[in-house]
């Protein structure tokens, strides 16, 4: 349980008390987030989502301390994204930086893109809208505030470590490598690619980006999308967000491939990119970051859920080795990609 009583908080907060009235409230912890506690609070007629940041990482427990201010960063970033792309963000009803929580629209009836792709193909309109969201992110600048208003240094350090540092150190204690998987040796071209991508991640301050934009942080209902979970936001290259999306689209498509379902990765990636309408330089970094994200999910504790959902062990092993070979190719050669069709052609060698 978290460190505060949800019901007591609601009854002592006028705006929330007024929202629900005198109806008895039901509370349920939902979601399986790595960082925070998420509750659905409501009556039979109306509900809200309460997101609370404990002073530790939810996935790893109370011994893994984290600054609670991360949720303040998320509030600020979500509010900013809502101002530039209102059609793609849920409504936030209440912010409380002192209590480290916020209340937002209940996206009941929505499912994560990640989960939905396990069951059926996704409309290309969803990917077009995701591309449009990233175009708005890239072409807007947030109001001026201190840097820590929009980014949390601790979370950025976690991203740096778990994407660009730890996975590339043999037998690092932070890793969780499946017994059946032995990564291929990584040559100098791959290591130089990771080094260059790390530099971009740290110093290419293009705009305020989501920082953890993958298919698990995109909620969909039919063709409507809602972007959530922006606590990892920071000033960085938009190719980092795009690359994350590329990688997690591919995880879902690899699941479909090995489960004998209809595969649609080519149209999904092409439509996402067309919705964004980006340039060659952004495409190159997106492909590189895609490779880095693909690789790290094989090794870190927070695995790619579509790969873990593969039912036959031999197919899961095949998926891990396929992703390993693909990520080496992408990280080693991303600077040679000059057109989206170049990227798709390279992917066809593996899929």
Number of H helices, E strands in the chain: 13, 12
Q: Of 67, 87, 105, which residue sits at a domain end?
A: 105
Q: Do 40 and 156 fall within a single domain?
A: no
Q: What is residue 30's predicted lDDT score, i.e. its pLDDT?
A: 85
Q: Do 98 and 206 fall within a single domain?
A: no
Residue 212 forms part of a structural domain:
yes
Q: Do 28 and 154 fall within a single domain?
A: no
Q: Do 72 and 163 fall within a single domain?
A: no
Residue 86 forms part of a structural domain:
yes
Q: What residue ranges in 141-210 does DSSP mark as E strands?
A: 207-209
Total of domains in the chain: 2
Q: What is the CATH number of the domain that holds 180?
A: 3.90.1200.10
Q: Do 202 and 55 fall within a single domain?
A: no
User: Which residues, 6 or more positions from 60, have their beta carbon under 8 angstroms from its beta carbon?
Assistant: 301
Query: Is residue 327 packed enough to be buried (19+ CB in 10 Å), middle (13-18) or exposed (0-12)?
Result: buried
Q: Do 14 and 152 fall within a single domain?
A: no
Q: What is residue 1's predicted lDDT score, i.e. its pLDDT?
A: 44
Q: What is residue 4's predicted lDDT score, i.e. its pLDDT?
A: 55
> Do the beta carbons of residue 217 and residue 210 sit within 8 Å?
yes
b/e 189-223 (16+ beta carbons within 10 angstroms → b):
ebeebbeebbebbeebebbbbbbbbbbbbbbbeee
Query: Is residue 336 packed enough to be buried (19+ CB in 10 Å), middle (13-18) or exposed (0-12)?
Result: exposed
Q: Do 98 and 218 fall within a single domain?
A: no
107: three-class secondary structure by DSSP: coil
User: Which residues, 6 or more positions from 300, have their beta carbon under 8 angstroms from its beta carbon?
Assistant: 162, 166, 167, 174, 175, 176
Q: What is residue 61's predicted lDDT score, i.e. its pLDDT?
A: 67
**Residue range(s) defining the domain that contains residue 239:** 111-348
What does the alpha-carbon distance between residue 80 and residue 179 come to, in Å, rounded to a whole number?
A: 43
pTM, two decimal places:
0.94
Q: Do 215 and 336 fall within a single domain?
A: yes
Q: What is the CATH number of the domain that holds 69?
A: 3.30.200.20
Q: Do 224 and 293 fall within a single domain?
A: yes
What does the alpha-carbon distance between residue 39 and residue 47 come to, in Å, rounded to a whole number?
A: 10
Residue 1 forms part of a structural domain:
no
pLDDT, tens digit only, all 351 positions of the chain: 454 588 889 889 999 999 988 888 888 888 666 788 899 999 888 999 999 998 887 766 677 888 899 999 999 999 999 999 999 999 999 999 999 999 999 998 999 999 999 999 999 999 999 999 999 999 999 999 998 999 999 999 999 999 999 999 999 999 999 999 999 999 999 999 999 999 999 999 999 999 999 999 999 999 999 999 999 999 999 999 999 999 999 999 999 999 999 999 999 999 999 999 989 999 999 999 999 999 999 999 999 999 999 999 999 999 999 999 999 999 999 999 999 999 999 999 999
């Amino acid at each position: 349980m978290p460190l505060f009583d949800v019901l007591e908080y609601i009854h002592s907060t006028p705006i929330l008390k007024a929202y629900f009235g005198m109806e008895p409230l039901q509370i349920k912890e939902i979601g399986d987030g790595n960082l925070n506690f998420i509750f659905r609070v409501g009556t039979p007629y109306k509900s809200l989502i309460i997101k609370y940041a404990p002073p530790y990482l939810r996935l790893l427990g109370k011994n893994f301390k984290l600054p609670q201010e991360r949720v303040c960063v998320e509030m600020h970033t979500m509010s900013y994204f809502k101002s530039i792309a209102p059609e793609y963000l849920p409504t936030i009803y209440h912010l409380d930086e002192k209590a480290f929580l916020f209340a937002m629209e209940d996206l009941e009836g929505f499912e994560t893109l990640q989960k939905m792709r396990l069951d059926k193909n996704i409309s290309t309109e969803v990917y077009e809208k995701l591309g449009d969201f990233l175009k708005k992110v890239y072409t807007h600048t947030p109001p001026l505030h201190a840097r820590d208003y929009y980014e949390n240094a601790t979370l950025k350090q976690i991203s740096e470590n778990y994407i660009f540092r730890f996975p590339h150190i043999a037998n690092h204690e932070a890793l969780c490598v499946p017994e059946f998987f032995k990564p291929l040796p990584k040559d100098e071209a791959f290591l130089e690619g990771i080094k260059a991508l790390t530099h971009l991640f740290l110093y290419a301050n293009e705009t305020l980006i989501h920082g953890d934009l993958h298919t698990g942080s995109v909620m969909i209902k039919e063709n409507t999308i809602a972007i959530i979970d922006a606590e990892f936001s920071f000033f960085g290259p938009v190719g980092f967000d795009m690359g994350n999306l590329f990688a997690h689209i591919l995880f879902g498509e690899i699941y479909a491939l090995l489960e004998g379902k209809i595969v649609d990765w080519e149209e999904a990636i092409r439509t996402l990119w067309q919705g964004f309408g980006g340039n060659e330089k952004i495409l190159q970094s997106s492909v590189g970051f895609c490779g880095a994200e693909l690789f790290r999910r094989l090794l870190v504790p927070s695995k790619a859920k579509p790969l873990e959902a593969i039912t036959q062990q031999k197919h899961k092993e095949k998926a891990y080795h396929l992703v390993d070979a693909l990520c080496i190719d992408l990280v080693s050669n991303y600077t040679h990609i000059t057109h989206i069709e170049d990227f798709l052609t390279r992917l066809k060698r593996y899929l």
